[in-house]
Structure 1
Amino acid sequence: MLHDRLLVEVDREAGERRSSGGIVIPATAAMGARRLSWSKVVAAGPHVRSVEVGDKVLFEPEDKAEVEVAGELYIVMRERDVHAVAADRVGDSATGLYL
């Protein structure tokens, strides 16, 4: 990856989902508000400062560029398009989220 770019896995379970009451919500259902997505970082450019490989990042799916690498689908984005980072490296004393 170059500069401040991130390569993240595509969420394979982004289709149907279940509500807390057990109701199945199809992938084609319209959401009233924008819905952000979590994905795992698989590669990061040399100028990325707050994200490391293995972290989960929260981003808006509308701001993505998809790319296929070795038959797998990934998303390429800039670090500035990340809304939050969930990382194990923070330890037990903090939430692990950088907002």
Structure 2
Amino acid sequence: MLHDRVLVALDRDSGERRSSAGIVIPATAAVGRRLAWAGVVAVGQHVRQVRVGDRVLFDPEDRGEVELQGRDYVLLRERDIHAVAAPRVEDGSTGLYL
């Protein structure tokens, strides 16, 4: 990975989802602009806020897709990440920061 790039793998459940009432919403349903979560697989040497293993929130419309060894990944710039869910937080913290 080079510069400020982050390679992420999309969550498997990013397609079909359920509402709080249990209604199944297909991935093709048109709902405003929806952000997506993905797990970080690799980071470039100039990435400062994200580490491998974190989950990041990003806009799926602003992404570059790449296939490596038969698996699909998304390549992002660090500045295109909206939030990070990190397991390395202190007690009493939410684990999310913007």
Does the alignment reach a TM-score above 0.5? yes
- Paired with 2:92 and 2:24, the residues of 1 have a C-alpha distance of 36
Q: Structure 1: any 5+ residue segments left out of the alignment?
A: none
Q: Structure 2: any 5+ residue segments left out of the alignment?
A: none
Note the aligned Cα RMSD (angstroms). Answer: 0.9
Q: Which residue of 1 aligns with 2:92?
A: 93
2:27 is the alignment partner of 1:27: yes
Q: Which residue of 2 aligns with 1:11?
A: 11
Cα contact 2:88–2:95 (8 A) shared by 1: yes
- Paired with 1:4 and 1:20, the residues of 2 have a C-alpha distance of 37
- Paired with 2:40 and 2:16, the residues of 1 have a C-alpha distance of 23
Secondary structure of the residue aligned to 2:61 is helix
Q: Which residue of 1 aligns with 2:2?
A: 2
List 4+ stretches of structure 1 deviating above 4 A: none
Letter matched to residue 12 of structure 1: R
Deviation at 1:45, TM superposition (A): 0.2
Q: Which residue of 2 aligns with 1:52?
A: 51
Could you tell me the TM-score, scaled by structure 1's length? Answer: 0.94
Cα contact 2:7–2:74 (8 A) shared by 1: yes
2:78 is the alignment partner of 1:79: yes
- Paired with 2:22 and 2:94, the residues of 1 have a C-alpha distance of 28
Letter matched to residue 53 of structure 1: V
- Paired with 2:82 and 2:91, the residues of 1 have a C-alpha distance of 22
Letter matched to residue 73 of structure 2: Y
Deviation at 1:91, TM superposition (A): 2.1
Could you tell me the TM-score, scaled by structure 2's length? Answer: 0.95
**Identity over aligned residues, as a percent?**
68
Secondary structure of the residue aligned to 1:89 is coil
